Structure 1
């Protein structure tokens, strides 16, 4: 008699502590549908430590779940064959491993997930970390294809759920480095501009939509400048919208160097500065299931580091602290100057005021509509 025709008993692992019974089934017996689970629970065929349970009951590590016939685990799929080069690429990306996570430094040009015509991506390379009964690592957030830097991968289903809550709840703190064209007049501040998919682009491009967009906020700080040619920014996304940093920098009037999608030809510097994207996820600080925080930084890719050197920036000028944690101290004179620059920038965005003569011409009394 096969296992699937026998009553099975599973001991709840520490990784599943606190998970709902229905979610436990989805993790470990995904072939069993919710309707079947509900029927088993209703008829008392599923039991926890010998007692009846509800589908929403939360499990504790060490408990024993009784599963009736038909609930045998699905066979583990064999991971697709990866080439030696693929495995080397995966290994070279690793910058930190813990019991709950694998932290990668994703290179620019490598997509996070697959799509139409995209065969090589991080998700595919995660099979390099599958060994024996070790569960396949899971993506819990993503970076744009041309954005480099810190990408956290969960090692187990339980840690995936834990990290996903931290990202969705905005308790994970992320710091990006960006090289932008020109220099913002306001040295530090918050960009608050709702974003929505731009019509006619198939969802491939975002734009600012104050009426119907989703809230999007980004804190920024100018770390250094190369005259008026370019500036080095620290960016902290306070929300997680698609292409948020790229759209916000372009809206500020200073597109990210190499981001032709949102900056057009204005996004490229003359000379020997690379035309690749200059946006890098430099640092991630996030709580971990084991208790301690994961705090990791990722080195710049070659083209970004070369541009910083050519422009004369000292990488030691930034500790990559989240800008909301440690805003740089400012003198009274600096605050006054920033306030003036901000007021000037606001005036530029206001519609031009009409003169009294124009107003009289446009009034009904003047006979014009």
Structure 2
């Protein structure tokens, strides 16, 4: 389950030039594979009509041989030098002119493959080595000699082409109502719970797929971008009560892979030798605690690590967030819904269907399966539009020290509003 982050930022493209096919970005790479390559599941990755489907990247080699040698001489096995050995880093190294957004999209859509050499014993004369391809994830570690393959028929405009067919008035009006702020540089949205931010396999609608609908016929396509955020304030309802009313959580996070080999989760790093460790800082403050065993927290992430708030709440504070079944699974095994007070407005209890398959209503602490109770309440960022205007001016010296800060506040989603009222009413 992904974090519900209602306040999102879009950055408009500087120019409205037509998107280029990926072939133009890959023109300088090694030759395209001329033969038919089967997928790992036995299906043919191409055909007579599509023999040049795959572009072969150079075999992976450590980017810094000297650093590898030094790491091995220190006795750490070269782990320090292999931090750049992920699949996405190698693609970016080999394809420096491919936009980062396009590279990430290729991985999300499972379009990046890796060679898998198998022995074909069907022939009675000799054993034949056959090249097969299997999907590779962005953060998969490569070993020297691994070869990655990119499709040559993926265009950056594919998302835009899909959304051009989109024209339901109710859905368009729904998207426009999500806008909190809009100027020449950015669009700030109040993302509804349940709508993914990024598209991928099995995801029909997401914020980045629907982004062109926020431009009202403009040829400029907005794109996701939260790099300029100065500060975020989250509100969360957690199970239990922290020992201290406020503090700073400094707990590095590490990725672990579960036994099935596919799913993964983050955990607080137990030692310095754990791979993929990232520092993570979170400031927190207790808003209010309730005798039913719940606490409302205010969370200020000082770093932007994946699932940082969820892991810190569950593993450091010992108070998992309500509705977080990934990091708070044990706390939800014996979940008991709170009774619904008679004083609750009946209108808040009605469930209504929204566009894109979303539902309004339900998911509070009175439900058997509550939704995730984590909400980005406030976002502060610099006035990017004013900064861009300064850059366009003739003045050679640009001073951004006194640049105005923009603050945006998003209301709590309905299920969190309802939980707040329930907790205030129960026990009175």
Corresponding residue to 2:241 among 183, 187, 201? 183
- CA shift in 2, pair 1:88/1:29, >3 Å: closer
Asked if 1:202 is matched to 2:269, the reply is: no
Deviations along 1:206-229, whole A, 9 cap, x unmatched? 111233321111110001111261
Do the aligned residues in 1 keep the contact of 2:186 with 2:385 (CA within 8 Å)? no
Matched-pair contact (CA < 8 Å) for 2:257–2:264: no
Note if 1:99 corresponds to 2:184. Answer: yes
**Does the CA contact (< 8 Å) of 1:196 and 1:208 recur in 2?**
yes
Tell me the CA shift for residue 106 of structure 1: 0.8
Q: CA deviation at 1:84?
A: 2.7
Contact 1:259 1:277 in 2 (8 A): yes
Cα distance in 2 for partners of 1:95, 1:131 equals 16
> What is the alpha-carbon distance in structure 1 between the residues aligned to residue 197 and residue 297 of structure 2?
24
Q: Report the CA distance between 1:260 and its aligned residue.
A: 1.5
Rate the CA distance shift 1:228–1:311 in 2: closer, same or farther, 3 A: closer
Answering whether residue 193 of structure 2 is matched by residue 108 of structure 1, we say yes
Quote the residue 1:305 is aligned against. 417
- Aligned-pair distance for 1:264? 1.2
| SS of match in other structure, 1:271 | coil
Secondary structure at the counterpart of residue 262 of structure 1: coil
Greater CA deviation, 243-252 or 114-123? Answer: 114-123
Q: C-alpha distance in 1, partners of 2:324/2:237?
A: 10
2:338 corresponds to = 271
Task: Report the 3-state secondary structure (helix = DSSP H, G, I; strand = E; otherwise coil) of the residue aligned with 1:175.
Answer: strand
State the partner residue of 1:53: none
Say whether 1:258 aligns with 2:318. no
Aligned 8 A contact 1:90 1:126 in 2: no
Unaligned stretches of 5+ residues in structure 2: 1-12, 29-155, 340-364, 387-403
Instruction: Report the CA distance between 1:110 and its aligned residue.
Output: 0.8
Structure 1: stretches of 5+ with no match in the other structure: 1-14, 17-23, 37-73, 142-163, 314-369
Distance in 2, Cα, partners of 1:75 & 1:114:
14
Corresponding position: 1:246 with 2:341: no
Give RMSD over aligned pairs. 3.1
Residues 85 and 205 of structure 1, relative CA distance in 2, 3 Å threshold: farther
The CA deviation string for residues 75-120 of structure 1, in whole angstroms up to 9 with x for no partner, is 9964432233431331121122122111111111111011221112
**What per-residue deviation string (whole Å, max 9, x for no partner) do you get for residues 143-184 of structure 1?**
xxxxxxxxxxxxxxxxxxxxx3x24xxxx1000000011111
Change (3 A) 1:176 1:303: same
In the alignment of these two chains, the number of paired residues is 230
Q: Does the residue aligned with 1:261 lie in a helix, a strand or coil?
A: coil
Q: CA deviation at 1:33?
A: 4.5
Paired residues of 1:181 and 1:269 also in contact (CA < 8 A): no
Do 2:19 and 2:157's aligned partners in 1 also have CA atoms closer than 8 Å? no
Q: What CA distance in whole angstroms lies between the structure 1 residues aligned with 2:187 and 2:321? A: 29
More helix by share: 1
The 1-side partners of 2:287 and 2:178 are apart by: 27
- Bigger relative contact order, structure 1 or 2 (CA pairs below 8 A, ≥6 apart): 2
Which residue is equivalent to 1:81? Answer: 165
